[in-house]
Amino acid sequence: MDDVIELGQKSTTQILDLGKLSDHGWAGSVSANDNPVDQMSLIETLDSYYVPTNQRAKTRCIDGRHDPKFDETNLGAQVPGGAPGAALAYRLGVDKDDLTRGTFYNDAEVMIDSYLRLGLSPGGHRDDSSVGEVVGCGAIDGMDAILANMTDPALVEDHKRLVKALLDKDFDRDNYLRVLGAGLVLRSRSRGYFAGRGEILDLLEKKAPNSVSVLEGQHKESLVIVNFVPGTTLSSNRFSDEHRGAQAFGYDLWRSKQLAKSLFPLPSQEVERNRFVMARVMITIATLMTLTDGTQRLLIRAPAN
Ligand SMILES: [Zn+2]
């Protein structure tokens, strides 16, 4: 985790092109066809849009939309749903409680407290059209649909293929099936579990003042970038500014691994670490299945071998 890769040195990072997310026409509304970008020049220049994260900056969502307050020298890592989003991964991957009890609201509160206790800066967002129970973060508002898609038999092949591609040799079939099963059990009481999730951002704001952003405008994500280079993140505003408004979903997978190490630091907790990361990646793919039609290109940014 310490070996932050120096930016601007092409030899230290590599971009892998995994092609389109899917050819199956997912049900989400965000389509790369609406905002095409030149793939070849994109891959050559992608590294220049990555900047060092600021440890004290609030955690960001994978959402590619604009926040006028984002300052490139003060960006937090990007994960789906920000800090509250990690609560579902904990519930599905790690929690030993009965899955028939608990609420997402309580799980998110515990997760926000963990972030604060561990010195990690939590964060989340609304958007400029959020009202009432709808907060404007697709990863939070759509959580019941995300869970439904993750456990949809029609989507499971696509889902497993993509989770495997991201985890590569860390993919553990037993953990995958375990989280999938936990998701199915939780789905049976989705309404009760997710009740009150619209209040989570109020809670986040109360526990960590100034941790909630307001993103502007429409979704125009044309690609998905999964970043494995520790301590770096996508400058999403600049990316969009320089691509005629096209945006990118950015997922800093390194951050999920870092959080797993912080939450489960003991040598004996390797299983919990692996299950947490598995659940987080599974939820990320299901989030993309919910928000997009699958036409976005999937790029991986990784340390060079
Ligand atoms: Zn979001």
Neighbours of ion ligand 1 (CB under 5 A): 61, 63, 137, 139
CA of 80 to the centre of ligand 1 (A): 6
pLDDT confidence of residue 2: 42
pLDDT confidence of residue 11: 61
pLDDT confidence of residue 34: 93
CA of 82 to the centre of ligand 1 (A): 7
pLDDT confidence of residue 8: 46
pTM (2 decimals)?
0.94
Distance CA 283, CA 80 (A): 8
- Residue 301: name the closest of 11, 17, 9, 1 by CA: 17
Residue range 53-63, pLDDT digits in tens: 998 999 999 99
pLDDT confidence of residue 37: 86
Neighbours of 87 (CB within 10 A): 26
Q: Which residues are 297's β-sheet partners?
A: 20, 223
pLDDT confidence of residue 108: 94
pLDDT confidence of residue 41: 82
Tell me how far CA of residue 89 lies from CA of 74, 95, 162, 252, 288, in angstroms: 26, 9, 17, 15, 15
CA of 97 to the centre of ligand 1 (A): 27
> Using an 8 Å Cβ cutoff, are 159 and 247 in contact?
no
pLDDT confidence of residue 299: 97
CA of 282 to the centre of ligand 1 (A): 16
* SS3 readout for the chain: CCCCCCCCCHHHEEEEEEEECCCCCCCCCECHHHCCCCHHHHHHHHHHHEEECCCCCCCECCCCCECCCCCCCCCCCECCCHHHHHHHHHHHHCCCCCCCCCCHHHHHHHHHHHHHHCCCCCCEEEECCCECCECCCHHHHCHHHHHHHHCCCCCHHHHHHHHHHHHHHHCCHHHHHHHHHHHHHHHCCHHHHHCCHHHHHHHHHHHCCCCEEEEECCCCEEEEEEECCCCEEECHHHHHHCCCCCEEEEEEHHHHHHHHHHHCCCHHHHHHHHHHHHHHHHHHHHHHHHHECCCCEEEEEEECC
> Using an 8 Å Cβ cutoff, are 281 and 21 in contact?
no
CA of 103 to the centre of ligand 1 (A): 20
Which residues, given as ranges, of the chain have pLDDT below 50? 1-10
CA of 155 to the centre of ligand 1 (A): 22
CA of 138 to the centre of ligand 1 (A): 5
pLDDT confidence of residue 210: 93
pLDDT confidence of residue 132: 77
CA of 11 to the centre of ligand 1 (A): 32
pLDDT confidence of residue 3: 46
Domain spans in the chain, listed from the N-terminal domain onward:
10-303
CA of 86 to the centre of ligand 1 (A): 12
CA of 204 to the centre of ligand 1 (A): 14
Q: Which tokens sit at 130? A: 């959020």
